[in-house]
Amino acid sequence: MTNSHPTRDEDFDLLALGALEGEEKQALEAHVASCADCARKLAEARGRVAMLSLAAPPVAPSVAVKQRLMAQIRGEAVAAPAPAGRLRAARELDSAPAPASFGRWWNAILVPAAVALAALTIFLWHENRALDRQLAALHASMDQQQQQLDEARDVAELMTSQNTITVPLAQQSGMPKGSAHVMYNAKMGMVMYDGEIAPAPTAKTYQLWLVPVKGDPISLGVFGGQPDHWMMKVPEGMPCKWFQVTLEPAGGMPHPTGPMVLMGMVS
């Protein structure tokens, strides 16, 4: 453990409670001495234990407990008569405060109970954190599934709409080998690209553009080549002249600057 981080977060709480023993305690203490991150976790664990101890209300021994103890002492004295000196000592004991052994007996019950309660509280705290993480992962998974359902619905709507047109993109002379097509629905403002081009050269990327009837070309995304398929949104109702794929510096450009690799006119 001196060379690797502890795998259980609860070990820090157990060490702070004094419930970690033997080689595990020695190994964790040695590791904490040389690891700032684990030292911080141990300090946080000690803080939690301190907060738990402060939050617990003070409990005084019950008067009834003391009375039962004194009654037991008197009963033993009656059952076995003692010399006058011992009887006098018993009477003095009856009128004197509870012996120190009573406090030790009471602490022997309270301290383990408090430690057990603190350990249970910390265990529940860790369980709650684990449940929070699981819940967050479940929400993320549900969001991802919902996004996939939305995309599938958009694809189905795009492919079945009478307003959708398919534009083949042809390879341009002297450019990397490839072919693709674009499905475009101006009314819905949706474009779907599907194609395959030879991998882009080093430090270069392919970029797909929609060239409108009026205005500057609109970037629809960058890709590296090989099989690619994606869908994107564009402003609704935009008349388009053609689609093109250009070869641009890695990351793409705000406007076309490189050679045209694929191109398709909108009929």
Give which of 228, 248, 223, 241 is closest to 180, Cα–Cα: 228
pLDDT tens track for 242-257: 999 999 999 999 999 9
pTM: 0.49
pLDDT tens track for 97-106: 545 554 555 4
According to CATH, what is the number of the domain 165-265? 2.60.40
Lowest average pLDDT, out of 12-16, 60-64, 113-117, 249-253, goes to 60-64
Domain ranges for the chain, please list them.
1-61+98-160, 165-265
